[in-house]
């Protein structure tokens, strides 16, 4: 009987060991996948940073070339003008915009309303003079 108990205990321990081993291996596989994903993301981030640096340098070079062609200093590199000088402004006067159908419709609605008011007022005056006999 002692042997039978030892055998079942041994089998139970093997089962527990296999379950724990399986759990450990799955956790290890998840950790490896996470590590690979992190390395991929890091590589992508570094590639994008290098690309950004290249584009920034290219943009600066093009800005300098443009400044040489136009004879104007770059605003991003800072200018030698004094800070007390006001920025240049344009002398632009507003113009009456083209009338839209909505504006025309509002104008005609106002005309109709004004005409209606005057018509009612004229009718009331005529009616009042007719009633009073004046």
What 3-state class would DSSP assign to 60?
Answer: helix
Q: Answer whether residue 66 is part of any domain.
A: yes
Q: Rounded distance, CA 72 to CA 29, Å?
A: 60
| Residue (of 63, 88, 89) closest to 74 by Cα position | 63
- Which region among 47-51, 62-66, 80-84 has the lowest average model confidence (pLDDT)? 80-84
Report the predicted TM-score, pTM, of the whole model to 2 decimal places. 0.39
Query: Is the same domain home to 61 and 19?
Result: yes
In a domain, 84, yes or no: no
Asked whether residue 91 is domain-assigned, the answer is: no
Domain presence at residue 100: no
Residue 4 resides in a domain: no
Domain of residue 134: give its range: 106-134
Q: How many domains does the chain have?
A: 2
Predicted local confidence at residue 120, as pLDDT? 74
Please check whether residue 14 lies inside any domain of the structure.
yes
Of 29, 57, 73, the domain-final residue = 73
What b-and-e string marks burial along 38-61, b requiring 16 or more CB atoms within 10 Å of the CB? Answer: eeeeeeeeeeeeeeeeeeeeeeee
pLDDT digits (tens, 9 = 90+) for 107-130: 677 777 777 776 776 767 766 665
């Amino acid at each position: 009987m002692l042997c039978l108990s030892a055998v079942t205990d041994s089998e139970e321990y093997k089962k527990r060991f296999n379950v724990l081993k399986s759990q450990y291996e799955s956790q290890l596989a998840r950790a490896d996948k996470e590590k690979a994903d992190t390395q991929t993301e890091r590589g992508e981030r570094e590639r994008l940073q290098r690309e950004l640096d290249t584009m920034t340098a290219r943009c600066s070079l093009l800005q300098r070339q443009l400044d040489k062609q136009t004879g104007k200093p770059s605003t991003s590199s800072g200018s030698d003008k004094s800070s007390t000088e006001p920025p240049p402004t344009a002398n632009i006067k507003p113009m009456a915009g083209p009338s839209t159908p909505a504006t025309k419709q509002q104008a005609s609605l106002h005309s109709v309303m004004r005409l209606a008011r005057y018509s009612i007022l004229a009718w009331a005056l005529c009616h009042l003079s007719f009633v009073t006999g004046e």
